[in-house]
Chain A
Amino acid sequence: MRRSIHYIIPFLFVCSIVSCSTPGKNFASRYYNENKEMLDSIRNRFRSYYAIKPFHLQFEDRNFRYISFEMLSDSSRHIYGFDLLENDFADTLEKYQYPAAEIIGLAADMRLIHCTWISKLDYYENRQQKSLVFISMRNSHLNSFLNGEKYYALAFFNDRQFFDKHGRLTDKSERRRMREINGQVFHKITDRICYAITGNFR
């Protein structure tokens, strides 16, 4: 028994190290570049459909079957849940004058790359309202027993952003001040696209 403990403890230690390690910058950049076409297309389509009528879209489950659709207006938000195997999602979209076929197509593409959430986030610079598109994805490489669920989050800006020498997103006016999105420091992919590996998917 005593001897077996000598093996069990180092084994558990190695397991914990392996499960704690998270994929680094290489994974993030590679993931974006490998899925660039699809991600850019999802972002662009979302922006154009959002302009018709605002909404946010979320996949609720690990099998990407159940959708949570948030209908947004100036002062209210309606959250509805749908099973993609049934027709009520399309019916509801049509009822509320959303471009149904287009949004269903968007959801199908999101499902293909395991995208769990897409939304538009407003922010302010010099009291001027600006916005970014926020997308988060599940990826089996990011999950570990000890660290729990992690998501690969992408922020698509309309304007060029500023980064420090480590590639971290910074404030425009105070370059030494880290700029967080949903409480997370983001890193550079391009001048207008950043990523984070985060526990918060929305």
Chain B
Amino acid sequence: MQNSPPGKKLHHFKAGALCFFFCWITVPLFAFNNNTDSARNSTLEDAANYLRTLPKLDSSIFWPNIRPGYLLENLHLYVQRPAYAFESRNTNFCGYTALSFVTLDHDPLGFVKLLIQLYKEGKAQMGRTVFEPSEAVRSMAGNLKYKGMLDINPATQMWFLTLADHFKGYLNLFNKRYDRGDENKLWAATNFAKFNRMLRRLFDWKVQARGADLIRPSVDDIYVYLEKRLKKGMVFLYLNNRLLYKKKHVATRFGIPTHYVLLLDISRKDDIIHITYTDGGRTTHQQVSTGLLKKIIFGITFCTNRS
């Protein structure tokens, strides 16, 4: 891709047509071929080798607050300690975090290349999506503070802000343009339909979703349903985080989903279900009752490879 000045934007139709044509005639940059561990597009070692051979990065005119040295340091963290790559606190980035874990897991080399292209050129393509973040987010990336490890991960800041800037759902209707502090407001929020749309546009996966923003999925036995799906592909859960942690502080509370996690494992012993999921920077193992699990889950997204 050619360099373009920060203010210059592609015409949407042209960009869409170009993207469509590009997707038809070539293999998409991030089209993962399989959902199993054995069929990753690249490995962490590939990404580490690429980073080692990468010539020195110059400062980017597109991302004025991201120093190239810190960016590279962050990308090295991606391949050395991937669990720490997307840890953030006090933001509405959980949907992007869940999605980013699978991105890095399936094609670390492609992901690292994408971020470097985004840094150098101010735009990049992933799947069917061409990212060209607005100036507001480009000037903020690198300056987010008091968000946990996100403070010292400028590449992650760049990536999350780009995703939130590009994908919009009905929750973002009243706050579409980024202003400082919007990362923990509705600007960054992700409703269930938006989350599934992101998956469909970024990856060449078959995405099946059950549930909605305010209505729980109608599933007879949630444990059996999740266990079956997990054997065949990836499962994302859209759940009520407050209920997951705070069980009986308040007698009644209107439950709405607030959080996305990537389910890694599920097992049952008596009436207690053991779930393992990625949440922030850590893999979390938790025991929940069947009733609570059914109560907290509002959306289940199941992804498999098209082939």
| Residue pair A60, B152 in contact (C-beta under 8 Å) | no
Nearest A residue to B248 via CB reads A61
Say if the beta carbon of B14 comes within 8 Å of chain A: no
A138 and B248 alpha carbons, distance in the complex (Å): 13
| Residue pair B148, A122 in contact (C-beta under 8 Å) | yes
Nearest B residue to A81 via CB reads B287
Give residues 45-83 of A contacting B (CB, 8 Å): 58, 60-62, 66, 68, 72, 74-81
Say if the beta carbon of A106 comes within 8 Å of chain B: no
Nearest A residue to B275 via CB reads A79
A77 and B184 alpha carbons, distance in the complex (Å): 24
Partner of A61, one of B90, B249, B279: B249
Residues on B with beta carbons closer than 8 Å to the beta carbon of A183 = 90, 184
Range of interface residues on B (Cβ < 8 Å): 20 to 34
| Residue pair B282, A75 in contact (C-beta under 8 Å) | yes
Residues on A with beta carbons closer than 8 Å to the beta carbon of B52 = none
Say if the beta carbon of A109 comes within 8 Å of chain B: no
Say if the beta carbon of B151 comes within 8 Å of chain A: yes
Residues on B with beta carbons closer than 8 Å to the beta carbon of A72 = 282
Say if the beta carbon of B149 comes within 8 Å of chain A: yes
| Residue pair A181, B248 in contact (C-beta under 8 Å) | no
Say if the beta carbon of A102 comes within 8 Å of chain B: no
Say if the beta carbon of B295 comes within 8 Å of chain A: no
Say if the beta carbon of B286 comes within 8 Å of chain A: yes
Say if the beta carbon of B13 comes within 8 Å of chain A: no
A136 and B279 alpha carbons, distance in the complex (Å): 22
Partner of A62, one of B146, B248, B283: B248
A122 and B245 alpha carbons, distance in the complex (Å): 20
Residues on B with beta carbons closer than 8 Å to the beta carbon of A68 = 245, 247
Say if the beta carbon of A89 comes within 8 Å of chain B: no
Partner of A76, one of B245, B253, B282: B282
Partner of A123, one of B148, B246, B283, B284: B148
A188 and B11 alpha carbons, distance in the complex (Å): 51
Say if the beta carbon of A152 comes within 8 Å of chain B: no
Nearest A residue to B280 via CB reads A77
- CB A114 to nearest CB in B, in angstroms, measures 11
Nearest A residue to B245 via CB reads A202
A201 and B209 alpha carbons, distance in the complex (Å): 32
Q: Give me 11 A-to-B residue pairs in the complex whose CB atoms sit less than 8 angstroms apart, sorted by A's number.
A: A60-B246, A60-B249, A61-B248, A122-B148, A127-B70, A148-B253, A179-B145, A181-B90, A183-B90, A183-B184, A202-B246
